[in-house]
Chains A and B, each alone.
Chain A
Amino acid sequence: MMDIGKILDLFKSELVVINVGSHTFASALEKQGYTAVQVDWVPPAGGDKKLQEILKIMGGLH
C-alpha cells in the first residue's frame, strides 16, 4: 500500500527541481522563487541521428 502521508509531506517541503533538457523550464521556476538545478546534459552526439546510429553499432558508451 502506498504511503500517501509521505507523498503529502513531499508537497509540503521546500521544492527543489532537477531539470534535464531545455534550461527554460529551470529559469521559469527560478523566476518564481524556486530552486532549480540544471543538469549539464545534451543528447548523445549532440542529437546527430547519423552519428547516434553509428555509435549504436560501435558501442563504447558505458
Chain B
Amino acid sequence: MTIEERITKANEKVMEIFLTGRPVWTDVRPAIEVVPGMRKNLILHPGPPIDKDHIVFPLRNSISGAAVHEKLADTVEEAWRMVLAGEIEIAPAQNYQCSCAAAMVMSASMPVIVVEDKTSGGKGFSTPHPGSNPKVLRWGLYDAEVEQDLRVFRDEYCPYLGEAVRTSGGMDIINILSKTAGMGDENHNRQPAGSMCLALTLAPYLLDCNAPRKAVKDFLANDRFFLNPLMAASGSICASAKQVKESTVMVGMGGNGEDFGIQVSGTGNAWYISEAPYILGTFLKPNYTVDDLLRYMGDSCVTEVYGFGGMCAIAGPAYMRLTGSTFEEAISRTEKAHSVSLGEHTFAPVPWNKYKGMPVGIDIRKVVGFNVLPISHGGSGLKTGGQAGAGSAQLPMDCFKKALLGMAEELQIV
C-alpha cells in the first residue's frame, strides 16, 4: 500500500467517526471524578502549551483564580508563584479531552459537562456556560465576587443540572442540532435556537429535581448555554479520532491569547503552533480598538473542528451581519471550508444553501496544497480581561505547514 493509500484509509476511519458520531450529554460531575488524568494540583487551560514568561494577563488571572478557588493558594499572587515553581501544574485542556472557552480554565472541583459519543465511545468534557454575567472567570476576571459566583455555580446549581441530565436519560446533541437546523445558528458564536431547544427539553427535569429558583432562571435565560455541551460533544468525537494513526484530519485547535495551535489525528496530542491571529469584527463598546485586543484565545473553536462556526458560516447569516460582514462572505467561508474538508454532516442541512450539509473534517494536505485557510468565528478578549467583541479570524498557515511536516516525520517521509 502506498503512503497516500494508507492516509486515505486512515482518513476514512476518522470521517466515519465524525459523520456517524452520536454525542449524548450524560452527566455533570466534578472534573476530578470524570476527566482522565485530572489531579488536584492540575489546571487545564485553553489553546496550546503556554510559555509561562509570556502568558497574557487574563489567562494568568484565570489560572491563579482557579488555584485560589481550589484552595491551593490563598492569593492569586501566591498561586502564580506556585505555578512558576511547578507546584501547580498547567496543561492544555485539549490534551485531556477537555475544552475551555475564551479565558476559562478547568480545575479539579469544577463541575464539567460529560458527553459520550455512543458510536465510537469517546468522551469529551467542558465546564457549563457561566451565564450572561460579563464578570466571569471565563473572561479572565477574578475577585471575591467571582469566587462567590464560582462556588454558587459549583455547589448550588451544577449538582441539580447533573441530576436533571441523568434523570432525562441524556441530551442527544445531534437531535438538538437537527431540530434547530435552519434556525440561523452557526453554533459556535450564535446558538439561541440550540439553547432554547435544550432548555425546552431539559427544563422539566430541572424543575422536577427541585433546583433552586435562581439556577433555573440563570439556565433558562442564557442563549449561549448550548455552546458548552457542543464543545464537549466535539471533544468526544475528537477523542476517538485522535486514536487513528496516519490520518491527516485536524482534530483540535485553540488559542491562548498569544499562540494558536492545531492538532492532527495522526499525531494525537502534538501541537503545531504559530502566532495567534486577532479576532476582528465588532466591539461591544465603541471606545474599544484593536490595540485593546488579545490575540485568539479559547478552545470553543473545537466546535469548528466538528463543522460549526465559520465552517458553516452560511447557516448563521445574522452573526455575519452582527460582526460587520456579509452573506456573500458567509458563502465564501463555507465554500472554502468545503474545499479543504473530507465530508459533510447530514443531520442539519442548511435550507438556503440547497439543503447542503456542513463541511467537516479539515484535511491539512488540502489546506497547504490549495493555499486555502479555514476561517474561524470567535469572541475576542481584552488585554485587561473581559470580552472585547466578536468576529472571525483566518487560521494561520504556519500551523498547517508545521503539521504537514509533523505528519511527514510520523510517516517517515522526511
Q: Which residues of A are at the interface with B, using a C-beta cutoff of 8 A?
A: 42, 44-46, 48, 50-51, 54-55, 57-61
Contacts and interface: CB of A to CB of B under 8 A. Distances in A.
Nearest to A61: B369
B404 A54 contact: yes
Interface residues of B, number: 23
B236 interface: no
B53 interface: no
Interface string B354-367: 00000000010110
Residue among B366, B371, B414 with the highest chain A CB neighbour number at 10 A:
B371
Mostly helix, strand, loop or mixed at chain A's interface?
helix
B356 to A, nearest CB: 21
Contacts of A50: 414
26 contacts: A42-B371, A44-B369, A45-B369, A45-B401, A46-B397, A50-B414, A51-B401, A54-B405, A54-B413, A54-B414, A55-B368, A57-B3, A57-B4, A57-B408, A58-B3, A58-B365, A58-B413, A59-B3, A59-B4, A59-B7, A59-B8, A60-B7, A60-B366, A60-B369, A61-B366, A61-B369
B228 interface: no
A46 B370 CA distance: 8
Contacts, number: 59
Contact of B4 (A42, A51, A58): A58
A61 B370 contact: yes
Contacts of B38: none
A60 B363 contact: yes
Contacts of A45: 368-369, 371, 401
Nearest to A56: B4
Interface of B: 2-4, 7-8, 11, 248, 363, 365-366, 368-371, 397, 401, 404-405, 407-408, 411, 413-414
B408 A58 contact: yes
A10 to B, nearest CB: 32
Contacts of A51: 368, 401, 404-405
A58 B407 contact: yes
Nearest to A55: B369
A59 B3 CA distance: 8
B411 A58 contact: yes
Contacts of A48: 401
Nearest to A47: B371
Residue among A44, A45, A50, A54 with the highest chain B CB neighbour number at 10 A:
A54
Nearest to A46: B371
